Amino acid sequence: MKLGQLHPPVGSTKTSKRKGKGSGSGLGKTAGRGHKGAGQRSGNKRRPWFEGGQMPLARRLPKRGFTNHIFKKEFQIVNLRDLTDLKLKNIDPEVLLSKGKIKTLNKQVKILGIGDIESPLNLRVHAFSQSAREKIEKAGGTIEKLC
């Protein structure tokens, strides 16, 4: 067998439609674009969400709910298991920032109760979960809430 004798399997390839090549091709004159309008013109790019002038889906659906972005509090989450890795007794946001457990001092810090601690810790952060508070006090640690 030679390279010149290779052919793709029958039915696996299809010749492309030659638009605008005469009326006998079935795609002559307007080349399948129809008559007049934006779709007929060159340079027309329809947005993927355009629905042909129909009322768009985003405007057909009802608005639901309310989010109060002005007074929303965003917390940086730190788990108890992350605090045991630090091997420190006194922990506050500055310490957590220096150890890479939080990213900024501009957001409040909240301690969650995932993990266990054995040694007592003195924590000064903005918020605690109930389970974290119980575990810290059980281990003999103290909690101070920052405003």
Count structural domains, the chain.
Answer: 1
Task: Specify which residues 116 forms β-bridges with.
Answer: none
Q: What confidence score (pLDDT) does residue 72 get?
A: 87
CATH code, 124: 3.100.10.10
CA distance 89 to 123: 8
Distances (CA, A) of 66 to 61, 71, 72: 15, 13, 12
pLDDT digits (tens, 9 = 90+) for 34-65: 999 888 999 999 889 899 889 999 999 999 99
Contact in structure between 21 and 30 (CB atoms under 8 Å): no
Look at residue 67 and tell me whether its pLDDT is greater than 90: no
75: Cα separation from own chain's centroid:
18
Q: Which domain holds residue 85?
A: 75-145
pLDDT digits (tens, 9 = 90+) for 98-137: 999 999 999 999 999 999 998 999 999 999 999 999 999 9
Look at residue 147 and tell me whether its pLDDT is greater than 90: no
**Residue 61 within any structural domain of the chain:** no
Give the pLDDT band of residue 1 (cuts 50, 70, 90). confident
Name the amino acid, one letter, at 55.
M
Q: What confidence score (pLDDT) does residue 68 get?
A: 87
Q: What confidence score (pLDDT) does residue 9 get?
A: 95
Name the amino acid, one letter, at 120.
P
Q: What confidence score (pLDDT) does residue 146 get?
A: 93
pTM for the model: 0.56
**Residue 101 within any structural domain of the chain:** yes
**Residue 48 within any structural domain of the chain:** no
**Residue 10 within any structural domain of the chain:** no
pLDDT digits (tens, 9 = 90+) for 4-31: 999 999 999 999 999 999 999 889 999 9
